[in-house]
Structure 1
Amino acid sequence: MTNDISKYLLKNGPKLTSDILRHLEETGLSPDTARQRLRRRPTSVKTLLGLSFPKNARFYFHEAHFGTHRYWDGLFDALTEGSPTYGPAIAAMIAKGGIIPSDFFPIISGAPLKQKKKTGSDAVLARLKGIGFLTEFTVGETPVVAFHHHSGFSVDFDGYPAQLTVQRVLLDAVADWARKLGMVSYNKVAIRERGQALPQFGTHAFDLVAPSYLTPMVRYADGKPKPGFLVADVYLGELNKATAQAFLRKCESSRAMRRLPPFLPVIIADGFHPDAFHELRANGIIATKPSALFGRDVARGLAGLLETLHHASAIAAKNPEVIETLFSQLGHIEGAAGNLRGALFELIVGHIATLQGGGSIDIGKKVFIDTDERYEVDVFCVSAETVRLIECKGYAPTHKVDAEELEAWIRTKARRLNKHFRAQETLQNRAFSVEFWTSGGFTNEALQLAETVSNETKRYGVKLVAGQDVRSLITKVNAKGLGKVFDEHYAKHPITKAERKFDALEDFGSVIKDAM
């Protein structure tokens, strides 16, 4: 008789305790007998350890299904439909393309950073890794969380950098919007950054957090005003009900904490599934699209930026005028110009490289040396005679790359990539060069380091290209339209002018001090 459970799971796939008991009761067994039958299950029926479900439910599967798509699909259904602790994190990972920086997992998990009697985000990650659903590794120098390859869920490695860039510009736009409306303290807006403390409200992390002194938000203690807060998360694409649960969970948990000040929750996505929209609105959450907040031009600019970065190689080769369009649509957003400068500098370099020597270019090329060592080549240029590995940094002209930053690239990443590509038969008998291009400059120590490394090896050439060199190359290769873009948004950007003016005043002050 116990084989009934085995046959049921073999036919229907993995199930939770409640599903199996319901099936047994439908066959005529009493609830007590059904539970006893499950306790005496055959050895072919296995249970997942290390993961708890509400009401002490457990996840059961037939041993023949372990590790198959049916196993992972069943586990996904069980987590998203039956676990408010782990389900929101899995749904949010899917919405983020299956890969995010490890630093950002607490934001999308829906779990608190740390709270009594609650499973924290670190524990959620550890358990999802423990059952093989998620994994951690590094891309370049950035630790990331991604779906494990055997889970069956796709990981958008190619789109990952573009997603991060557009999300960051979108967050800059949200901050700019809130500042201009006077909703938040101008200089107190916290936006997520890799390697830094996450924006936090109560026990939860968000993409953006800012104090607000608007009348409905302020509370007074000892005659002094205490601000409320604006909290926001952003997504690209349409948000469904499962993905919305992470944000809903954070908001519900925060409201339950009586000592927390009032807060205004905002979630932004390109669109919302009707059931997700209704649930968010029913819980007092502002659910809106970029076009509604910032207007159609900015919304088009964000969509265009994502499309451009997804097809960077083709655009850099044939359609570089898109760069100017994106700057005109998004460059006025406070904080966005710097992020655009970095992302679009690769397209400028790629276009110059194409005009210099023909061949093929690949922007943002992903390189998998082994499971624990993965890199991205900003611009990979191959011709019949040469292979060029180019690192790009779209800094302000006043920024100088120092020896420490250059050494991390030149002695580790550049060497490993050179060795990796040299071993490929199709790239034999070509001259290799590793190049570091910046729209800024280099310190004397960095220049000396590059010369030292260049003298140490004859396997590849080492080349540094500063901002003024980039501008000269634009003229030399006759890159139409790029001269204006580079002058306005790299060499002569208003922020740059202010920095130069400040530097000049600083130098003038030092001269006066020396004269005294």
Structure 2
Amino acid sequence: MTDIIETYLEDFGPALSGTISEHLEKSLGISAAAARKRVSRASGNIRRLGYVTFARKARFMYLENQFGSPLYWRKLVDALFSTNSAYGYAIAALIQREGFVPEWEFPIVCGAPIKQSRHLSPATIMQRLKEAGLLQTIQVNGLGDCICIVQSEEHYNSLAADTRVRLITENILLLAVKDWLRKLGIVSFDKVTIRSSTHAPKVGTFVWDLTAPSYLGCLIKTGKDKKVKPGFVAADVYLGDTITEPGSRPFINKCKTLRALRNVGPCMQIFIANRYEKEAFSLLKQNGIMPATPESLFGEDVAKGLSELTSVLHDAASHSLDPERFERLFAALGKIEGAANQLRGTLFEYIAAEVARKNYSSLVRMNQIYKNQSGKKAEADVVIITDNISVRFIECKGYSPRGIIPDTEVRRWLQHNVPVIYKAVKVHPDWQNLDIKFEFWTTGILSDEAIAMIKTAQVSTKATRYSLGFKLNQDVYDLCKSTKDKGLITAFEKHYLPPY
């Protein structure tokens, strides 16, 4: 009788055991008890998903060769949605994002509260889906630890550049949203918080990409003590593929669950994406959520600027720097408060990487995250590997030429980044016997105290361990000129040289 179950799974795809039992009842004319018994005894190529529970002790069943296929994930998400399962929202969020997100982003996108009675937390969801063999944590180049649907690591490494570009572009969009909310007086001016890899803003029991308190009349509440309590604005963004109906559901779950909390004020909830399926757009609106696009919020020029930024960063990652395109980006996006600084910092990392390729070695990597044995992490903006000779780690600070680099940035580089990366390097099988160099490159100004900190560390560090150095604006410009690359030189001159 396994054959008829296998045939059903081949014809209709993975399904819950209860659905298969109903099929046996109708097709064979047997009782419900007999059908359930036959399903429970099915073996051969038939597999059952473990660790993930369904109503009435149902099991999710599939054929061995179906595991991991698009049909498998779609049927699993449908089955989980049918029971309003938190696991379904988490998987749907990952599928919407090409199967993976940086570990820090998972609590934001998965649709679950950080801590709330009778709800699974993101950490618990992650753990149980890992136990079920559905999710895994892997190191992805340029992104660090990522939570992903089970696939080969090579699959996700091939998508790493796209994801990093998406995150950079989304950061610019979030700055635009922040600027828009403040200028319209929707939120408290100095209280807007935006996500980062180390901090996620919170409203209620959930974390978001952007949050802010609001004292608009429609959002405030007056407590029993007659004091006015603010409402909130909470927004998530996604500038990847078109938002699908399943992909919209994790955000909808966040919003609906938040509204059920008695002690949290009213909240304006916004989701921003480039494109929506018709069903997703309608579902978001039906649930009282504002589905927006960059164009609907900020107009065509900003929307085109964000799209162009994505294209420019993709090309820059392929060693193609076009100064005229960057100039257009600064013109389109530079009016957004904070965007010019973000663009200048991002561009400088790409310039530094290209300078390194042309002056030192063709083997250059960007945005590498290292973890020492105690679990501490640090990022190197540019890594230059000269085979059998040295490995050089560059910290990049792309500021305006008159911008002063905070001493805290230099202190953190010396006291955190350098020792964490050094310990990771010493256990790297290919780098243990190479010369190790750490350098701080900036287009801004280092204070006398910052320079003194670096020079003191240079003297106190044994040459047999590693060397320390720094390059200021003119030093980096000289390296650019030595490449004889007109595009590279022009890009640096336009955005980092002081006007004379």
TM-score normalised over the length of structure 2: 0.81
SS at match of 2:101: strand
Does 2:254 match 1:253? no
Post-superposition offset of 1:216: 1.4
Mapped pair 1:282 → 2:286: yes
Deviations 1:214-239 (A, max 9, x none): 12112222333222111111001311
Contact 2:391 2:437 in 1 (8 A): yes
Report what 2:19 is aligned to: 19
Match of 1:308 among 294, 312, 318: 312
User: Is the Cα contact below 8 Å between 2:173 and 2:306 reproduced in 1?
Assistant: yes
Aligned to 2:453: 445
Q: Which amino acid in 2 is paired with 1:206?
A: W
> How far, CA to CA, are the matches of 2:132 and 2:376 in structure 1?
23
For residues 92-491 of structure 1, the aligned pairs below 5 Å read 92-137=93-138, 142-149=144-151, 154=156, 156-196=159-199, 198-221=200-223, 222-237=225-240, 238-315=242-319, 317-353=320-356, 356=359, 360=362, 362=364, 364=366, 378-379=381-382, 389-394=392-397, 396=399, 397-400=404-407, 401-406=409-414, 408-413=416-421, 435-440=439-444, 441=446, 442-453=450-461, 455-456=463-464, 462-471=468-477, 473-474=479-480, 479-487=489-497
- SS in structure 2 at match of 1:239: coil
In terms of mean alpha carbon deviation, does 361-370 or 138-147 score higher?
A: 361-370
C-alpha distance after superposition, 1:431-455 (max 9, x if no partner): 9865432334344233332455472
CA distance in 2, matches of 1:10, 1:157: 34
After TM superposition, the structure 1 stretch with the greater mean CA deviation from structure 2, 167-176 or 22-31, is 22-31
In structure 1, the partner of 2:73 is 76
Q: CA deviation at 1:30?
A: 4.4
Query: For each residue in 1:82-115, what CA deviation from the matched residue of structure 2 results, as whole angstroms up to 9, or x when unmatched?
Result: 2132222222223334332322212111112222
Q: Distance in 2 between matches of 1:312 and 1:388?
A: 23
- Aligned-residue offset at 1:41: 1.4
Cα drift, residue 213 of structure 1: 1.2
* Aligned-residue offset at 1:311: 2.6
- CA contact 1:5–1:38 (8 Å) conserved in 2: no
Q: 1:90 to 1:168 in 2, by over 3 A?
A: same
Deviations 1:296-354 (A, max 9, x none): 22212222222222232445x55244333322222221233333233221122234445
Q: Is the 8 A contact 2:108 2:209 kept in 1?
A: yes
Provide the rounded CA distance (Å) in 1 between the counterparts of 2:74 and 2:15. 9
Q: Could you tell me how far apart the structure 2 residues matched to 1:380 and 1:227 are?
A: 46
Q: Deviations over 1:402-447 (max 9, x none)?
A: 35523544445367569869679xxx9x998654323343442333
Q: CA deviation at 1:377?
A: 6.0
Q: d(CA) in 1 for partners of 2:331 and 2:393? A: 27
| Cα pair 1:79 1:86 within 8 Å, conserved | no
Instruction: Quote the offset at 1:279 in angstroms.
Output: 0.9
Match for 2:76: what amino acid? L
Could you tell me how far 1:246 is from its partner in structure 2? 0.7
Alignment match, 1:29: 29
Counterparts of 1:206 and 1:251, CA distance in 2: 11
Task: Give TM-score, length-normalised by structure 1.
Answer: 0.79
Provide the aligned C-alpha RMSD in A: 3.8
CA–CA distance in structure 2, aligned partners of residues 264 and 405 of structure 1: 39
Deviating more after overlay: 149-158 vs 256-265? 149-158
Whole-Å Cα distance in 1 between the matches of residues 496 and 253 of structure 2? Answer: 45
2:494 counterpart letter in structure 1: K
The answer for unaligned runs of 5 or more in structure 2 is none
Name the CA shift for 1:471/1:399 in 2 (closer, same or farther; >3 Å). farther
Measured in 1, the distance between the counterparts of 2:66 and 2:370 equals 25
Letter in 1 for 2:239: L
2:237·2:273 contact (CA, 8 Å) conserved in 1? yes
Cα 1:405–1:138, aligned 2, differ >3 Å: closer, same or farther? farther
SS in 2 for 1:272: coil
Residues 214 and 231, structure 2, Cα contact 8 Å, conserved in 1: yes
Aligned residues: 476
* 2:148 counterpart letter in structure 1: A
* Residue 476 of structure 1: how far off its partner (Å): 6.4
Change (3 A) 1:79 1:451: farther
Q: Tell me if the contact between 2:194 and 2:211 (Cα under 8 Å) persists in the aligned partners.
A: yes
Q: Equivalent residue for 1:510? A: none
Q: Which moved more, 1:253-262 or 1:235-244?
A: 253-262
Per-residue CA distance 1:189-215 (angstroms, 9 max, x = gap): 12222223x222222221111111112
Match of 1:512 in 2: none
> Measured at CA, do residues 353 and 194 of structure 1 come closer, stay the same or move farther in structure 2, by a change above 3 Å?
closer
**AA at the equivalent of 2:278:** P
How far apart in 2 are the matches of 1:150 and 1:469?
42
Task: Give CA deviations for 1:53-75 in whole Å, capped at 9, x if unaligned.
Answer: 3454311235xx1xx45355564
Q: Deviations 1:223-274 (Å, cap 9, x if unpaired)?
A: 3322211111100131111110011111121223344322111100010011
- Residue 210 of structure 1 aligns with an amino acid whose one-letter code is A
